[in-house]
Amino acid sequence: MNLFINKKTKFIDLGLMDYKEAWDYQTTLFQSILDVKTANRTNNSSLITHNYLLFCEHPHVFTLGKSGDEQNLLLKKEDLYTVDATYYHINRGGDITYHGPGQIVVYPVIDLENFFTDIHKYMRLLEEAVIQTLQEFGIKSGRISGLTGVWIDYENEKQARKICALGVKTSRWVTMHGLAFNVNANLNYFANIVPCGIADKAVTSMEKELGKLQDFDLIKTVLKNKLADVFEMEIF
């Protein structure tokens, strides 16, 4: 356990950023935290590890988790240009998902030893921040046993709709990747995949549920504050 706890977390809004560029940036931060932990272990030193909370949007892109099934991409790779999208097979957990404008993508690159050492709790708190954010806007949401993410009509198996997907990578309690929260996202893009490998569940957004375009910046602020609350982060 890290005896030098640091809950200070640097918030960075990357805006609209190419997926590969954001992935590379995450990886650099991720490795920098691992390097400090390695130095502490090998040199018996006590350097603190830093935490980062990244928000961004991506141009249209499909990403497949490391153990996902490529057949869940329903579009041929050579036809991706027809929907102005790119595709990456990446190193997070989970299956295939879509990112695009109008979707808040959150990448916590943090040392969980600064907070707690429980991956299950980490995933549930990511979901909880989104659930509480939706509640602020009058949308009831929750979890479905055995499935990750946040769902609308989660108690009705046939009508359940996913509004937020999760997929993470961890190494020595350091995290990367995170969540994708549909606010004003173009849901038509999900027709090109089997979202998260789940064929019998629909996908939705705040815009669709509330019947109007949402204040994207306001929702980002609320979500940032909810994440800070549930993780007890000191955001700066």
Q: Residue 95 in 3-state DSSP?
A: coil
The answer to whether 187 touches 70, Cβ cutoff 8 Å, is no
Q: How many residues are given for the chain?
A: 236
Helix, strand, coil abundance in the chain, percent, nearest 5: 35, 30, 35
Q: What's the CA gap between 176 and 130, in Å, rounded?
A: 18
Crossing angle of helices 216-231 and 119-136, rounded to 10° = 140
Q: What's the CA gap between 37 and 35, in Å, rounded?
A: 5
The answer to whether 128 touches 230, Cβ cutoff 8 Å, is yes
Q: Is 56 a catalytic residue?
A: no
Catalytic residue among 29, 196, 219, 233: 196
Q: Which residues are catalytic?
A: 196
